[in-house]
Amino acid sequence: MGEITSINKLHLGLAMQTDDLQPLDLDQPFTADSRCQAYLDFYQLNFAAQMEHVNHQMGYIDSHPYKIACHYFSVQEPIKTCFIVHGYMDHSGLYYKIIDHLLQKNINVVAADLPGHGLSSGAQATINDFSTYYKTLRDVFHVFSQAVAQPCCLIGQSMGGAIVMDYLLQIPPREAKLSFSEVVLLAPLVRPKGWLGIRFAHALLASFTSSIKRNFSVNSHDKVFLDFLKYQDPFQTKRLSVQWVGAMLAWQKRFHQLTPSPINLTVVQGDDDQTVDWRFNVKAIARQFPNAAFCMIKDGRHHLAGENGVYFEQVLKAIDQHL
């Protein structure tokens, strides 16, 4: 990640906002202004300048009442298109390593910031119902599905994995199979670690506070990545939304009530994940997706998209095998 001082952090945070984005137009070439260029350089997303065969388009789509910031990275001879769905408190800029890898494999990439994340509009890192994320994902698919190279595939990290599963469980299996040839979920959220304590704390806190102090967890072996999140990324929040926790609890209950789907998907999961209750989640996902395959990464932590070294190599290997 690029280095950032307190001064240019303020500049980037104020200069690059949702309202500065233009409506996404896939039929017109995109030219980044100085603010957008600074954003792309800072998050190492300037692949169009680094790779001769890559084109980049950026803008927002409407997903009422939100403006959803979207990136579309396309190559000259694509073999497919991959949609990336990020995790809670993440945004597209944190997935540059996976985007880079996919482009090197001649796979187009669509990456969108969810409501309240990154450059998208909405209260920061909060939501009143996970169905809003489902609707956003559906709207993104609708905009891109007829314009991008087929077949399409999906990668979802943590909460992004939860949203992808929610989507797949609510559409007809035939439509899912026709829409997405492969689905890879990285440490998908079903139930967080410390579930009972979280439920108790939410019941206690919900009536008198809207947020609590966020503790930045050690969810990757990459110290540079962790320091960037904690000290340098202007899109990170220092508070955890109590409303979001309530929405997550309600979604988890609903997840188990949805009809299981026969669609194939692959779960990549680290066995040193201290963020989600991965042992419970693996069983829960297997019940809802009987044809799911599971790829375990020894000592892998939660933010698999932000891992490094041998751990990230295993993530990429799993992606290559299953996409």
Residue 177 lies in a domain: yes
Residue 266 lies in a domain: yes
As to burial, measured by CB atoms within 10 angstroms (0-12 exposed, 13-18 middle, 19+ buried), residue 171 is middle
Total domain count for the chain?
A: 1
Domain carrying residue 179: 6-322
Residue 20 lies in a domain: yes
Residue 1 lies in a domain: no
For 260-292, what is each residue's pLDDT tens digit?
Answer: 999 999 999 999 999 999 999 999 999 999 999
Q: Please report, for the domain that includes residue 160, its CATH number.
A: 3.40.50.1820
For 43-68, what is each residue's pLDDT tens digit?
Answer: 999 999 999 999 999 999 999 999 99
For 216-253, what is each residue's pLDDT tens digit?
Answer: 999 999 999 999 999 999 999 999 999 999 999 999 99
pTM, rounded to two decimals: 0.94
Task: DSSP for 134-152, please give it.
Answer: HHHHHHHHHHHHTTSPSSE
Residues 6 or more apart from 262 whose CB is under 8 A from it? 173, 290, 291
DSSP 8-class letter at 296 = E
Lowest mean pLDDT among 96-105, 138-147, 152-161: 138-147
Residue 25 lies in a domain: yes
